[in-house]
Structure 1
Amino acid sequence: MSTLIKGGTIVTASDTYQADVLIDGEKIVTIGHGLSADTTIDATGKYVIPGGIDVHTHLDMPFGGTVSSDDFFTGHRAAAFGGTTMHIDFAIQPKGATLRETLDIWHGKASGKAAVDYGFHVAITDLPQSVMDEIKNCPDYGVTSLKLFMAYKGALMVDDATLFKAMQQAAEHGLLIMVHAENGDAIDILVKEAIDAGNLAPKYHALTRPPELEAEATERAIRLSEVAGSPLYVVHVTNAGAMEAIRDARARGRSNQIFGETCTQYFFFTKDDLAREGFEGAKWVCSPPYREKYDQEALWGAVASNALQVVSTDHCPFWYEGGKDGRTAGKELGKDNFAAIPNGCPGIEDRMMVLYTAGVRGGRFSLNRWVELCCTNPAKLFGCYPQKGTIAPGADADVVVWDPNATYTITADKQHQNTDYNLYEGMEVTGMPSVVLSRGRVLVQDGEWKGEQGAGKFVKRNRFKM
């Protein structure tokens, strides 16, 4: 069955032009004029963009004695309502598990639930020689990115020797190393000192994870990757110091090796939000924490100038008040101790809308740069371009018809994310999806869900090439 998206303005990372898009089955087959099809979608006065790709999510993830509240259906449905048609989730290795076993666990979470396409990064937490030897098999598993944590001491954190060895393997086998860059040893000391002093409110989550420790870890990871010869992608960059380390590395000739992302929420909130009255600040507890207004401005400049290449979400939602009505426990686990608050925030549904409103309409960056940050660069860096991330013949028909004039007020009551709060509560956005397609299937049309559980596919990705 063929579908024609007619009368819209196509926007890619590099071009903006008027044309119609003909889809046959799961693929875009022709772009032009005077085309016909079995079904026509009217895109007059609207943009036609590639589906968004969120490369940093945590669906159905065990953490801190509970589990993130979106699974592979509710998270996918929320993503689609926001214009995101693919994501890459972190398969976090349990202690003692092989990488194959780890991926099998996450494939099980997605099986029968996935409604959009997805991939996996493997997050390595336990690296004996047997697992080190298995790294070379990851491309055969369809996974070409490995994440290592430089924080969460005693749980997820690896030491520098482990990180460096993984980088060497990545360099040899065409894998992209991702790091959560914070100095976990120093943070562990600061957290213990705060608890001993009776400083237990949510705001101390930010105060015990200062920006200097993110900047130091970012610089350290960059230097290790340079020696190992591996590509490096620094996730969820929050502050000017960490950005400076990435920018300087790229300026000294490492622009094909060193990359960085930030996340939507870091443009809009500061550490002061963790100090809100009572326990409300727990809603903003994530790692790394929010910073200062100065850092927000630095982030806007970095994504506009290509010092950072991707904007993702780190979508890791928890209930604010869980444990009620049979719901999974949530942020209330840390009511008496900030260190026990599950780290993570929702955002997979909001990313494209808030960035269009504040970024494009706010004059921070161009329409094409928005597509590049949210769709095209994620596909290129993570091995699925031009199958994903662009509007072109032969690409998957992951297409969003974007209404630039539609207005919407973000509220927890109207969201599709499976949690009881929204960081952007009450924010007015202008610009939102009117039709969302995944491989030619309509998922969302005029605010109605038309997708199907189980229709999403795992995307095997190509090796990273510097």
Structure 2
Amino acid sequence: MADLVIADGLVVNASGARRAHVVVENGRIAAILDATEPVPAADRVINADGRAVIPGGVDGHCHVAQVTGRYRTLDDFAITSTAALWGGTTTIVDFGIPRDDSETPLQAARNKLALAKESRCDVALHGSVVSWDDTVPAQLEELAALGIRSVKMYMTNRGSTMADNDTVLKVMKEMVRLDGLTYIHAEHDAMIVHCTREHAEADRIGIEHLHETRPELTEEASVREVLAMAEYTGAPVYFVHQSTPGAVDLVTDARARGLDAHSETCPHYLVLDDGVYASRFPEWFACCPPMRSRKTVSALRGRFADGSIHTISSDHSCYDLTQKRERTDDIRQMPHGLPGVETRMPVAFTALSEAFLESRTGVETAPGTAATMDNEALLCRFVEMFSTAPARINAIPGKGVIAPGYDADFVIFDPGEARTVVASSLHMGTDFSPFDGKVLHGWPQVVVAAGTVVLDEAGFHDPGPVGRFLSRLGYRETATHPGTMDASAPLLPGLQAAAHSARPNVGAKAK
């Protein structure tokens, strides 16, 4: 008898969709059976009734318990992982970013590994380097040995997290040697510093002017510069939170020349524009890069629909309004970042639904337009960006695909169901959402993580601190030998010694 069966669902992978039963044993997918076959016996059967069944989300860009300057985000791994599960994400990837000069990249990563023991979902990590010294190569080797195979660097934030060009170039060379991936926050620091100084001198430095101090050119100039360094070193590169079509097009052109380059965007850049900075609560939207013009958002949505953007991540940063409002008079002093791990799925799905319709009709759609179940191309494209590509690019075995041997991480949802975002009803450890009041489609109705039902019609069932640390594979190793992503391989060592089969099957037993 199986542990769990998801019966008669429209099982959607990036490669296609089919009506099927999904059979789960010991936390993994044991079989995919055609929906015309009898439903196998199981401890629990959930009838999907033809609803979409997609792989659990992989959010490749989260900041948990992050310290930046005098501010610390108000979440921890228990809070953020719970919110992730509520939002259909079953794997998060956090960053070990040194809090200041006293913390090394290796120490920062080990600190996050210790904190992650409280996670309710699986966790992977990126490293981060701020400044170069002779110890960095050995630290990067040790990070790789731990399964941390990517390093993030900031091209801006002078005096805190920014890495200079010498450091970026040297780290890229090391990541090639270690078969890793270089993550980049691309904004041109000198331009931003100059522009911000001019705004300060003109007394236009409050939050309502954020978008003016970081123009689109600053992002695109930085992307162009980093791509040149990646081409010089041969390093695979991944650009976080791209907010302009020009930045995406630079990556597309680089890929056409043979570079291993990837574009990520975030939900807020697809549904919000710079008009928010003239709203009643502009502090809700303090993030870098800032929101762009309506014209830019429309063009970015086109890149989202046509596949030029590879992943959709939340860039989750959990500050509250008290922290945001301390210095709304000076954007240089206030914390930047938005909560979003829980709302990534419905915002991204709604934006993609609208963008798909716009790309086919040439007419801007009404906000909150619902997708239809017969739009298989849309559903598959969503799965690719929400689950499959983040797992593949970050070389996380067992994730992002519904197939035998893969982890039993699923989301069941009805694309036509609409809900309104109510910030006070979310679970991210803060008191606001930039999407408050928006009508969205694509909310999870059932969430299964490692074979355990954690969300259903009865509500949330806390599995406890069962999340594993996921040791990642090499970037080129995975690209060259796709079989290395096969989840039927033995479990990799992590924070939790127990296998998935030891996790409790939380929730009601019958439906």
**Could you state the TM-score of these two structures normalised by the residue count of structure 1?**
0.94
Q: Within 2, Cα distance between the matches of 1:350 and 1:302?
A: 21
Q: How many positions carry a matched residue from both structures?
A: 452
Residue 106 of structure 2 corresponds to 100
* C-alpha displacement of 1:422: 1.2
| Conservation of the 8 A alpha-carbon contact between 1:270 and 1:292 | yes
> 1:167–1:228: 8 Å Cα contact kept in structure 2?
yes
Partner Cα distance (2:449, 2:126) in 1: 21
What residue ranges of structure 1 are gaps of 5+ in the alignment? 323-329
The Cα of 1:108 is off from its aligned counterpart by: 2.2
Partner in structure 1 of residue 364 of structure 2: none
User: Is 1:194 the equivalent of 2:199?
Assistant: yes
Correspondent of 1:275 among 275, 278, 281: 278
Matched, 1:205 2:210: yes
User: What amino acid is the match of 2:243?
Assistant: T
Give the Cα separation in 1 of the matches to 2:443 and 2:289. 29
Say whether the 8 Å CA contact 1:5–1:20 is kept in structure 2. yes
Q: In the alignment, which residue of structure 1 is the partner of 2:139?
A: 134
Query: Do residues 306 (structure 1) and 312 (structure 2) align?
Result: no
Q: 1:384 is aligned with what amino acid?
A: I
- Asked whether the equivalents of residues 360 and 370 of structure 1 are also in contact (C-alpha less than 8 Å), the reply is no
State which of 216, 219, 228 in structure 2 corresponds to 1:223: 228
Amino acid at match of 1:445: D
In structure 1, distance between residues paired with 2:96 and 2:139: 15
Looking at structure 1, the residues matched to 121 and 139 of structure 2 have their Cα atoms a distance apart, in angstroms, of 29
C-alpha distance in structure 1 between counterparts of 2:356 and 2:223, whole Å: 29
User: 1:455 — aligned with what?
Assistant: 466
Distance change (3 Å), C-alpha of 1:175 and 1:159: same
Q: Quick one: distance in 2 between partners of 1:132 and 1:297?
A: 42
Residue 433 (structure 2) aligns with: 422
Is 1:381 paired with 2:382?
no
* Residues 266-287 of structure 1, C-alpha deviations (whole Å, 9 max, x = no match): 011122212224xx21110101
Q: 1:197 to 1:362 in 2, by over 3 A?
A: closer
**Alignment pair present for 1:409 and 2:402:** no
Cα contact 1:93–1:122 (8 A) shared by 2: no
Aligned residue for 2:315, secondary structure, equals coil
Structure 2 CA distance for partners of 1:411 and 1:253, relative to 1, 3 Å: same
Paired position in structure 2 for 1:9: 10
CA shift in 2, pair 1:198/1:447, >3 Å: farther
Paired position in structure 2 for 1:261: 264
Provide the secondary structure at the position in 2 that maps to 1:291. Answer: coil
Coordinate RMSD, CA, aligned = 1.6
Among 437, 441, 449, the alignment partner of 1:438 is 449
Q: CA deviation at 1:200?
A: 2.7
DSSP-derived class of the 1:221 partner: helix
Q: Map 1:32-181 onto structure 2 (within 5 A).
A: 32=33, 33-34=37-38, 35-94=40-99, 95-111=101-117, 113-181=118-186
Deviation at 1:44, TM superposition (A): 0.8
Q: Residue 116 of structure 2 aligns to which amino acid in structure 1?
A: A
Amino acid at match of 1:2: D
In 1: Cα distance, 2:164 partner to 2:442 partner = 44
Gaps of 5+ in 2: 358-376, 480-511
- Structure 2 CA distance for aligned equivalents of residues 62 and 447 of structure 1: 36
Q: Does 1:288 align with 2:289?
A: yes
Deviation >6 Å, runs of 4+: none
CA distances 1:350-372 after superposition (whole Å, capped 9, x unpaired): 11112222313663571100000
2-structure distance, mates of 1:122, 1:447: 38
Specify the alignment match of 1:336 in structure 2. 329
> Hey, what's the Cα distance between the residues in 1 that align with 2:424 and 2:104?
41
The answer on whether the counterparts of 1:203 and 1:271 sit within 8 Å (CA) in structure 2 is no
2:410 is the counterpart of 1:399: yes
Q: Which moved more, 1:14-23 or 1:60-69?
A: 60-69
SS in 1 for 2:296: helix
Deviation at 1:84, TM superposition (A): 0.6
Q: Which amino acid aligns with 2:66?
A: M
- Cα distance, 1:151 vs. partner? 0.6
Q: Is the 8 A contact 1:333 1:342 kept in 2?
A: no
CA deviations over 1:289-319 (Å, ceiling 9, x no partner): 1111122122222222222200111111211
Instruction: Report the Cα distance in structure 2 between the residues aligned to 1:361 and 1:285, rounded to whole angstroms.
Output: 25
The AA in structure 2 aligned to 1:276 is: S
Q: Which residue of 2 aligns with 1:327?
A: none
CA deviations on 1:204-252 (whole Å, 9 max, x unpaired) are 2221111101100000000100010110001100012212211211122
- The amino acid that maps onto 1:66 is Y
Question: What is the CA-CA distance between 1:462 and the residue it aligns to?
Answer: 0.5
Return the letter of the residue paired with 2:451. Answer: G
CA distance in 1, matches of 2:435, 2:106: 38
In structure 2, relative to structure 1, the CA distance for the partners of 1:447 and 1:423 (3 Å cut) is: farther
2:390 and 2:112 map into 1 onto residues whose CA distance is: 21
Is the partner of 1:366 in helix, strand or coil?
helix
Relative distance call for 1:335 and 1:293 in structure 2 (3 A) is: closer
- Counterpart residue number, 2:401: 390
In structure 2, do the counterparts of structure 1 residues 362 and 193 end up closer, same or farther at CA, with 3 Å as the change threshold? Answer: closer
My pick for the range that moved more, 183-192 or 91-100, is 91-100
Shift of 1:149: 0.4
Per-residue deviation at 1:447? 5.8
Q: Is 2:27 the counterpart of 1:26?
A: yes
